[in-house]
Amino acid sequence: MRTLAVYPGSFDPPTNGHLDIIERSSRVFSRVIVAVAVNLRKNAFFTPAERVRMLKRLTSTMANVEVTSFRGLLVDFARVQEAHILVRGIRAISDFEYEYQMAHMNRKLDQEIDTVIMMTGERHSAISSNIVKEIAQFGGKIDDLVPPLVRDILISKLKGAKRR
């Protein structure tokens, strides 16, 4: 049986924790679509196109992973892709309540879509995109939190923002 899963998120920026979930998902499912959410309520640091480009480069060696962006309801996107599985990663028990509510709401919106929750690897459990950005803004070391590609792009973009 071939299985297609969608792993949605803001990925602003992609972290080692995100890559952990993507890599592990690629071993479980036949195909994984990493879906960068365009959320109009969030003030993202990176544009959707920048996040998609980073993720495409980071997953280029994973033949069964593709990256795209979407706007609107996740279940609508999954339906168009003909995916019946949503992958969500949780770092700590504090993430569980939100993901639990979202899984039930997505199931209510489309009975054909199930959510699979993966625990982020222990060494990535304290990493969040917001923490990464904050540490980087103050010149802290983020080498263990994001891949070198993301580190370099984030630092470059922060330097450009300071010049303005």
Which tokens is 5 given? 């899963």
Extents of the domains making up the chain:
4-163
pLDDT at 62 exceeding the cut of 70: yes
Q: What is the pLDDT of residue 11?
A: 96
* pLDDT at residue 42, as a whole number: 72
Residue 89 β-bridge partners: 118
pLDDT at residue 163 in the model: 61
Angle between helices 48-58 and 148-163 (to 10 degrees): 150
Rounded Cα–Cα distance for residues 129 and 121 (Å):
16
CA distance 15 to 21: 10
For 4-163, CATH number?
3.40.50.620
State the catalytic residue, choosing from 30, 42, 60, 104. Answer: 42
Burial class (CB within 10 angstroms; exposed 0-12, middle 13-18, buried 19+) of 9: buried
Question: Is 104 assigned a catalytic role?
Answer: no
Catalytic residue (choose from 26, 129, 133, 151): 129
Rounded average pLDDT over 65-75: 96
Looking at residue 40, its pLDDT comes to 65
**pLDDT tens digits for range 78-137:** 999 999 999 999 988 888 999 999 999 999 999 999 999 999 877 777 788 889 999 999
Catalytic choice (31, 57, 84, 91): 91
Catalytic: 108? no
Degrees, nearest 5: CA angle 30-9-31: 10
104 and 90 Cβ atoms separated by less than 8 Å: no
Query: Which residues have CB under 8 Å from 99's CB, separation 6+?
Result: 88, 90, 115, 117
Whether the Cβ atoms of residue 34 and residue 67 lie closer than 8 Å to each other: yes
Least confident of 55-59, 66-70, 136-140: 136-140
Catalytic residue among 10, 18, 88, 151: 18
Q: How many helices (H) and strands (E) does the chain have?
A: 6, 5
Task: Give the tens place of pLDDT for each residue, 6-33.
Answer: 999 999 999 999 999 999 999 999 999 9
Check residue 93 and give its pLDDT. 82
